[in-house]
């Protein structure tokens, strides 16, 4: 995790870096820092806290002039969040300065060696070890910075996206990448460095995304030189044209990114199936699926790997694939899959789901599956992300940037993409008749409008939130397609309001969780008409007889649950397999309003970060 930003050019670096850090705070926000170079002096300021704290501190601490600089927003791995452990870190001589996103796994042995050679350390970080290693290499062999960085990185085990500059070389920044993202924006005689393109989107639409094990020497006014870290060979970098625009990454009048992203879901889902779902012609067009149809059809099974909310989307997909396309599906936590010697063969298709496309565990699971000969298909939101590039083929969700740490529109758009794939495979396999297929397409096309309608419950959900905001525990229940939605609802509440919440299959309640139910316990039950409705109503009866408080998520016009529940929140009717796209909405709103009422930091909950690029 952590966000990095750098600039070298003809403009003042400080405003570009501080704004860029604010856009990257989703990657980490426990401390921040900047180093600026005015041609004579390195001016460094850093602090525990958010980028806004840094901004308040920096302007009274240093002069912010200089046309070269680097900045960092941190999610701590080595060393607690405090001023000293914040980045940038300087070498012992004070000449070299670094920012780093990632982990140097062998930092301890490197540090011991450096201590023997007389180096001292102020912080507990692995990054300070790296910058001193670079200095040691540079001094002992009297090398240029780029060469010293390359030699040092070849001694390092771990992951990194780094930017380094040297006081003695006022016109140069050296960057390198392995396992953490790094983009270089190319402007007119100026260069921008960042973890993603959002910090420089208003300055240039041209960017290079470094590949793993590549480094670049960025010199003021010169052409960028990209090299392989391992053997120094020069690489001709691909310059990508960016599609992102500024409005997409701003709050647009909403109080929080999360709320904006919840309300963006109708258009995000529409964007996901636009050009792919052609209901008039009764076809689904997805290039990545079409080009690899043979592999999908020959697959013994589909293994889905993902983490967190993306894993929940995978669970929904398990129900959809098995129901529509009759393909066996296993859904795995990427973090477990990669470590348990799983049985994978060339006849398996692995689908990796990731909003950020940078999650370390998912990436490692992909590498493992590829090494066993499986075909790996990615479902990512961030275009050009590492997972998008590491997979054999894939489909983007096209949800637009998701900044709030709690995933919302990523979840519904992932389900949309996976539904399209399942429908396409069902048609190819003949497990659905053409009229059923067409009916599903027509119904899927109505989902954006129905999500819009579900969002109208916002004010009522806010009222319900007020009643339950002080509860210490919540239970979420759902069955079938909506069991994963119960898990997702519980995760949303936990991560942004810090209230303990558990999701369960409704029928599983009687095997244990029912013991928790008393008059203090709010139970959110997803009880839509088509999902084992009568059975769920029986579960609601069981909760009621133990005096639990029932919040029912029901199909519009429902009367039975209304009689039993303390509150009901209606969603429009749809096909059972599409219902998660609607039942999710009130659960997102519930967690959002409770977190706001409890004064929590909705977009940047404690201890979390948007993309988890460490194990």
Q: Which residues bind ligand M6R (CB under 6 A)?
A: 307-310, 354-356, 359, 362, 405-407, 495, 608, 611-612
| Shortest Å, Cβ 607 to ligand M6R | 11
- Kindly tell me which of 150 and 407 has the beta carbon lying closer to ligand M6R: 407
**Smallest distance from the beta carbon of 314 to ligand M6R, in angstroms?**
10
DSSP states along 261-272: HHHTHHHHHHHH
Return the number of the residue (133 or 608) whose C-beta is nearest ligand M6R. Answer: 608
Q: Is the dihedral of CA 248, 250, 254, 256 positive or negative?
A: positive
Catalytic: which of 55, 295, 494, 610?
610
Nearer to ligand M6R by Cβ, of 27 and 227: the residue is: 27
Helices (H), 96-233: 107-116, 126-141, 145-153
Pairing label, strands 183-186, 172-178:
unpaired
User: 519 phi and psi, to 5 degrees?
Assistant: -70, -10
- The catalytically annotated residue of 2, 307, 380, 577 is 2
Whether residue 470 has a cis bond before it, omega within 30° of 0: no
Query: Nearest approach, Cβ of 341 to ligand M6R (angstroms)?
Result: 23
Please tell me the distance from the alpha carbon of residue 288 to that of residue 380, in angstroms, as a whole number: 13
Q: What minimum distance in Å lies between the beta carbon of 306 and ligand M6R?
A: 6
Burial class of residue 1, CB neighbours in 10 A (0-12, 13-18, 19+) = buried
**Minimum distance from residue 25 beta carbon to ligand M6R (Å):** 14
Reply yes or no on whether 556 is catalytic: no
- Give every CB contact of residue 98 below 8 A, 6+ residues apart in sequence: 70, 87, 88, 89, 90, 127, 130, 131, 134, 162, 163, 164
Q: Quote the strand ranges of 328-478, DSSP E.
A: 329-333, 348-354, 375-380, 393-396, 473-478
Please say if 610 is a catalytic residue. Answer: yes
- Cβ-based nearer residue to ligand M6R, 44 or 307: 307
Of 349 and 365, the one with the shorter C-beta distance to ligand M6R is 365
Sign of the torsion angle spanned by Cα atoms 366, 371, 377, 380: positive
Q: How far apart are CA 331 and CA 319, in angstroms?
A: 10
Closest CB to ligand M6R: residue number:
308
Instruction: Pick between residue 128 and residue 261 the one whose CB is nearest to ligand M6R.
Output: 261
Residue 385: CB minimum distance to ligand M6R, A: 9
* Best CA proximity match to 478, nearest among 589, 582, 333: 582
Given a contact cutoff of 8 angstroms between Cβ atoms, the answer to whether 373 and 348 are in contact is: no
In the complex, the smallest distance separating the C-beta of residue 30 from ligand M6R, rounded to whole angstroms, is: 16
Question: Hey, which residues does 379 pair with through a beta bridge?
Answer: 353, 395
Give the tokens for residue 165: 């500059």
Q: Considering beta carbons, is residue 136 or 264 the nearer one to ligand M6R?
A: 264
Name the residues annotated as catalytic. 2, 610
């Amino acid at each position: 995790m952590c966000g990095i930003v750098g600039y070298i050019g003809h403009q003042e670096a400080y405003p570009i870096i501080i704004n860029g850090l604010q856009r990257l705070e989703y990657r980490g926000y426990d401390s921040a820092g900047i180093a600026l170079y005015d041609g004579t002096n390195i001016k460094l300021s850093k602090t525990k806290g958010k980028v806004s704290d840094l901004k308040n501190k920096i302007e009274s601490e240093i002069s912010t002039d200089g046309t070269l600089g680097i900045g960092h927003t941190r999610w701590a791995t080595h060393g607690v969040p405090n001023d000293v452990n914040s980045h940038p870190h300087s070498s012992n001589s004070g000449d070299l300065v670094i920012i780093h996103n990632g982990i140097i796994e062998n930092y301890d042995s490197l540090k011991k060696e450096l201590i023997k050679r007389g180096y001292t350390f102020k912080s507990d970080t692995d990054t300070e070890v790296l910058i001193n290693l670079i200095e040691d290499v540079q001094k002992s062999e009297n090398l240029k910075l780029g060469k010293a960085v390359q030699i040092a990185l070849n001694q390092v085990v771990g992951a990194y996206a780094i930017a380094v500059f040297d006081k003695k070389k006022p016109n140069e920044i050296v960057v390198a990448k392995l396992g953490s993202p790094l983009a270089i924006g190319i402007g007119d005689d100026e260069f921008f460095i960042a973890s993603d393109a959002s910090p420089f989107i208003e300055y240039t639409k041209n960017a290079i995304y470094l590949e793993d094990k590549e480094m670049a020497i960025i010199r003021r006014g010169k052409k960028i030189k990209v090299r392989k870290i391992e053997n120094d060979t020069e690489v001709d970098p691909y310059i990508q044209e960016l599609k992102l625009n500024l409005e997409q990454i701003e709050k647009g009048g909403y109080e929080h990114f999360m709320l904006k992203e919840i309300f963006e879901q109708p258009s995000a889902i529409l964007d996901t199936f636009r050009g792919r779902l052609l209901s008039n012609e009764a076809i689904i067009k997805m290039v990545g699926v079409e080009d690899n149809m043979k592999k999908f059809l020959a697959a013994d099974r589909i293994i889905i790997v993902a983490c967190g909310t993306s894993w929940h989307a995978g669970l929904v997909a398990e129900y959809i694939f098995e129901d529509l396309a009759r393909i066996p599906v296993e859904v795995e936590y990427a973090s477990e899959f990669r470590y348990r010697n799983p049985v994978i063969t060339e006849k398996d298709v692995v689908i990796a789901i990731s909003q950020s496309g940078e999650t370390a565990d998912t990436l490692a699971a992909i590498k493992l599956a590829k090494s066993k000969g499986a075909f790996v298909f990615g479902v990512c939101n961030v275009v050009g992300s590492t997972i998008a590039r590491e997979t054999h083929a894939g489909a983007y969700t096209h949800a637009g940037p998701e900044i709030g740490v709690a995933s919302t529109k990523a979840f519904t758009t992932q389900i949309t993409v996976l539904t399209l794939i399942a429908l396409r495979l069902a048609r190819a396999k003949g497990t659905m008749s053409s009229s059923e297929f067409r009916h599903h397409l027509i119904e899927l096309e109505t989902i954006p409008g129905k999500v819009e309608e579900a969002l109208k419950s916002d004010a009522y959900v806010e009222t319900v939130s007020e009643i339950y905001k002080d509860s210490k525990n919540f239970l979420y229940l759902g069955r079938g397609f909506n069991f994963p939605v119960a898990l997702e609802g519980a995760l949303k509440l936990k991560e942004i309001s810090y209230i303990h919440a558990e999701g369960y299959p409704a029928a599983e309640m009687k095997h244990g969780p029912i013991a928790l139910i008393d008059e203090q316990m709010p139970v959110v039950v997803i009880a839509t008409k088509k999902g084992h409705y009568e059975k769920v109503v029986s579960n609601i009866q069981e909760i009621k007889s133990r005096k639990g408080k029932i919040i029912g998520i029901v199909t519009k016009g429902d009367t039975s649950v209304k009689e039993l529940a303390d509150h009901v929140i209606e969603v429009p009717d749809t096909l059972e397999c599409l219902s998660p796209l609607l039942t999710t909405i009130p659960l997102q709103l519930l967690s959002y309003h409770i977190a706001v009422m409890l004064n929590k930091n909705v977009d940047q909950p404690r201890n979390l970060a948007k993309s988890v690029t460490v194990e």
